[in-house]
Amino acid sequence: MNSAKGLVEIAPGAYHLPSYLTNQEQLQLVIRCRELGTQPTGFYRPTVRGGTKMRIEMLCLGRHWNPMTYRYEPNRSDYDGKAVPPLPADLSTIAGRVATAAGFLFEPDICISNYYPPDGRLGLHQDKDEHPETLRVGIPIVSLSVGNTAQFVLGGMRRKDPTRTILLASGDALVLAGPSRLRYHGVPRILSESGPKELNLNGRFNLTFRRY
Ligand code: SIN
Ligand code: MN
């Protein structure tokens, strides 16, 4: 496994970039998430197939991921029918820089931003609803986290494969690409009061940038 300062290869094609964002960039990202999240097309708490409410709040940019159909669409048809806001250039630029640091060229057109309250979590899943060609060639997913630290589990290609836990702290970036693009992953727990006090955020924002 490769390990250079600031870039830890945790599996082939999966990279952890601890403290990628400066304190100032973290604060700026929290402000952006709050701005975007309080617009009329802001965060909402999705209900998945089967009727269970997710333990996070979601806001999609660029395209909406429909938690009922597991498909991307231009409007939030599972919720309020509103048109999904565009993916702002300042956010996609950061994601592109992260990918470059991990050795990939990446131009995202979607961001799914999730707000995890202190008891938030996200079950084990694969990100496999993007275009089949995107998945086939392993175009990266770039993730940015701010606020409380998350226990992030990374598994294999099958749900039952063994998992390992990585702590994603405020300012950390993660890249899942190539042979790791379809690994199962999830967030079983957020560590309370673990984020930088200056962010004034009792929870966590995570943004995953994708290419449809
Ligand atoms: C996701 O899997 O979509 C989000 C992962 C995270 O919150 O770190
Ligand atoms: Mn995911």
Q: Report residue 1's pLDDT band, with 50, 70 and 90 as the boundaries.
A: very low
Q: pLDDT tens digits for 100-109? A: 999 999 999 9
Give the residue, by CA position, lying nearest to ligand 1 atom 7. 206
Is pLDDT of 2 > 90?
no
* Ligand 1 atom with minimal separation from the 125 CA: 2
Residue type at 175 in one-letter notation? V
Is pLDDT of 43 > 50?
yes
Inter-residue long-range contacts of 134-137, CB under 8 Å, 24+ positions, other chains counted:
134/210, 134/211, 134/212, 135/181, 135/182
Is pLDDT of 12 > 70?
yes
Q: pLDDT tens digits for 128-167? A: 999 999 999 999 999 999 999 999 999 999 999 999 999 9
113 lines ligand 1 (CB under 6 A): no
Ligand nearest to the CA of 186: 1
As a whole number, the mean pLDDT across the chain is 96
| pTM of the predicted model as reported, rounded to 2 decimal places | 0.96
* Ligand 1 atom with minimal separation from the 174 CA: 8
Beta strand 150-154 with 164-168 is antiparallel
User: Which residue's entry shows tokens 């997710």?
Assistant: 54
Ligand nearest to the CA of 205: 1
206 lines ligand 1 (CB under 6 A): yes
Q: pLDDT tens digits for 164-188? A: 999 999 999 999 999 999 999 999 9
- 57 Cβ partners below 8 Å, 6+ apart? 37, 43, 44, 45, 114, 115, 117
What angle do the packed helices 89-101 and 23-37 form, to 10 degrees? 140
102 lines ligand 1 (CB under 6 A): no
Give the residue, by CA position, lying nearest to ligand 1 atom 6. 206
Q: Report residue 5's pLDDT band, with 50, 70 and 90 as the boundaries.
A: low
Distance from the first to the final alpha carbon of the chain: 29
Is pLDDT of 73 > 70?
yes
Q: pLDDT tens digits for 16-42? A: 999 999 999 999 999 999 999 999 999
Q: Report residue 78's pLDDT band, with 50, 70 and 90 as the boundaries.
A: very high
Is pLDDT of 3 > 70?
no
